[in-house]
Amino acid sequence: MPADAQLLKRRFGAPLGDEANRLIASAIEATNRMQAMIVGLLSCSRIDERPLDPLPDEMDAAFDVAAHALDSAAQEAGALITRDPLPACPRRR
């Protein structure tokens, strides 16, 4: 798709006008972002190939770290972050 849009811009860019050129540039940027997302998803999918650690991660601790990072934003919004006990989950090495 990016190659097709770039070819369209090279061949017909001037006659199409500024708005069409902006749309073509936007399409090129969007396809480049999509391609980067696909590469990222593929690398994430390969995570499952690694063995599980024998000791699971404690999800309570992970949640508490995340909630602490949101403390000031939650206070500003008048929000209260709560949780029930969370299970331990196996993790990848």
Q: What length is written for the chain?
A: 93
| pLDDT value for 11 | 75
| pLDDT value for 48 | 61
Please measure the distance between the N-terminal and C-terminal CA atoms of the chain and give it in whole angstroms.
37
Instruction: Output the pTM of the full model.
Output: 0.42
Please check the confidence at residue 7 and state whether its pLDDT lies above 70. Answer: yes
* Secondary structure letter of residue 35 according to DSSP: H
| pLDDT value for 66 | 92
Please check the confidence at residue 22 and state whether its pLDDT lies above 90. Answer: no
